[in-house]
Amino acid sequence: MMNRSPNHSDGQSLSQGSASFPVAKVGVALVAVAALVFGGWRGIERQAERSDSTGQAGAATLQTPRSSSAATWPQSFVVTPVSTALKQKAAADQAAAAAAATTIPALPQRGAWDELAPVPGSEVHDVSSLPALSKELAPVVVLTFDDGPGPQTAAILDILQREQVTASFFMLGSQVRERPEDARAVAAAGFPIGSHTMDHKDLATLTPYEVEREIRDSTSAINEVVGKGTVQCMRAPYGSFNDETLGVAKEQSLGLVGWDVDTEDWKVRDSARILARATMPGHRQLILMHDAGGNRDATVAALPQIIARYKAQGARFISLCGSELDGGNATTEAPVVASPVTTAPKPPTLG
């Protein structure tokens, strides 16, 4: 009987495989030992270093609070308690008020009077609250003239003196220096003179320093020509001012005088229209007119009619910013003042 070679072959293969398996295990072990000997210790050291650094970083993380990162957050990310926010706002408001107080002095109430002039730093634009008129039953009229002295100032003086009616003049410092004789004539006739600033600038648009200079230079110019202490109040050009203006005026011991009847003679060249606006119904009238700043012939023509209308109503004419309620001209004949030489009028201005 023949042996089956397949069985023989199978047995031989199994025997060879059994013998090679232990050899492979030995080879793997030798490679591992070689790796340990030639590079393993260094690898172990590196592993140790990694472990140490990781441990230190972990310790640092444990020692440093996580909230420390909030120091780098934008302020808007930080939540502020309501109570703290309210305290901060109150502190900011107090600081703002303190800063304002250092630049603008405390102002008196509007409409406050010091005899016949507004209290320094105050502003009046009617005479209904004037203490001196508290018992006056007749209509009261205050005629005021701005922007002078000018070419028509002498003619207006002649009318006022002839009618024995008083008025107040608010003069520009630049005009007083240009026409000193006209300014002296107004003062000599007994009419109060106030400041209308130096150059007719809008005070509300100026810095406090510029406002201070406009007012102080005008007062100095008037005092130099007419006499020290002449100016007791002022009028803002265009009627434009703010709290800073009042603050500067207070520092210079001046109050502001406005108006409640604007004849608009600064833009109207019609005496009938000026008359109509100047005689609008009212029991206490503070009337704005101009004796310079343009051609005032229509004002000169309307003035006698304005006076006649109010006299017919039994009105009393008074002046402001002077030492006497009637300006020294209501009941006594005023001196005749020679008219100075006139010059060409300047372009019109308002207020």
Written as tens digits, the pLDDT of the chain (351 aa) is 444 444 444 444 444 444 444 545 545 455 454 554 444 444 444 544 555 555 554 444 444 455 444 455 555 555 567 778 788 888 888 877 666 555 566 888 889 999 999 999 999 999 998 998 989 999 999 999 999 999 999 999 999 999 999 999 999 999 999 999 999 999 999 999 999 999 999 999 999 999 999 999 999 999 999 999 899 999 999 999 999 999 999 999 999 999 999 999 999 999 999 999 999 988 999 999 999 999 999 999 999 999 999 999 999 999 999 877 665 443 333 333 333 333 333 444 445
State how many domains the chain has. 1
- Residue 98's pLDDT is 65
Q: Is residue 75 part of a domain?
A: no
- Residue 106's pLDDT is 83
List the catalytic residues. Answer: 146, 290
Residue numbers of the domain that contains 231: 140-318
Find the helix packing angle between 208-226 and 243-251, rounded to 10°.
40
CATH number for the domain harbouring residue 176:
3.20.20.370
Q: State how far the alpha carbon of 159 is from the alpha carbons of 81, 155, 271, 300, in Å.
A: 73, 6, 15, 8
Q: Positive or negative, the Cα torsion across 180, 294, 192, 258?
A: negative
- 3-state secondary structure labels for all residues of 205-253: HCCHHHHHHHHHHHHHHHHHHHCCCCCCEECCHHHCCCHHHHHHHHHCC
Q: Is residue 234 part of a domain?
A: yes
For 2, the token pair is: 């023949």
Contact of 148 with 343, CB cutoff 8 Å: no
For 237, the token pair is: 């050009």
- Residue 336's pLDDT is 34
Q: Is residue 39 part of a domain?
A: no
- Residue 79's pLDDT is 59
Q: State how far the alpha carbon of 133 is from the alpha carbons of 196, 284, 294, 322, 326, in Å.
A: 25, 10, 34, 15, 12
Q: Is residue 98 part of a domain?
A: no
Bond preceding residue 149 cis, omega within 30 of 0:
yes
Beta carbons within 8 Å of 86's beta carbon, 6+ residues apart = none
- Residue 94's pLDDT is 80
Q: State how far the alpha carbon of 325 is from the alpha carbons of 142, 204, 287, in Å.
A: 10, 31, 16
pTM of the model: 0.66
Q: Is residue 108 part of a domain?
A: no
Find the helix packing angle between 297-312 and 271-278, rounded to 10°.
40
- Residue 104's pLDDT is 61
- Indicate the helix (H) or strand (E) that contains 74: none
Classify residue 152 by its DSSP letter: T
Contact of 132 with 247, CB cutoff 8 Å: no
Bridge partners (DSSP) listed for residue 140:
284, 316
Rounded to an integer, what distance in angstroms lies between the CA atom of residue 67 and that of residue 80?
16
- Residue 166's pLDDT is 97
Q: Is residue 198 part of a domain?
A: yes
- Residue 182's pLDDT is 98
Q: State how far the alpha carbon of 230 is from the alpha carbons of 186, 190, 221, in Å.
A: 11, 11, 11
Q: Is residue 146 part of a domain?
A: yes
- Residue 218's pLDDT is 98
Bridge partners (DSSP) listed for residue 124:
257
Q: State how far the alpha carbon of 162 is from the alpha carbons of 78, 156, 336, in Å.
A: 79, 10, 9
- SS3 (DSSP) at 51: helix
- Residue 144's pLDDT is 98
Q: Is residue 116 part of a domain?
A: no
- Residue 74's pLDDT is 55
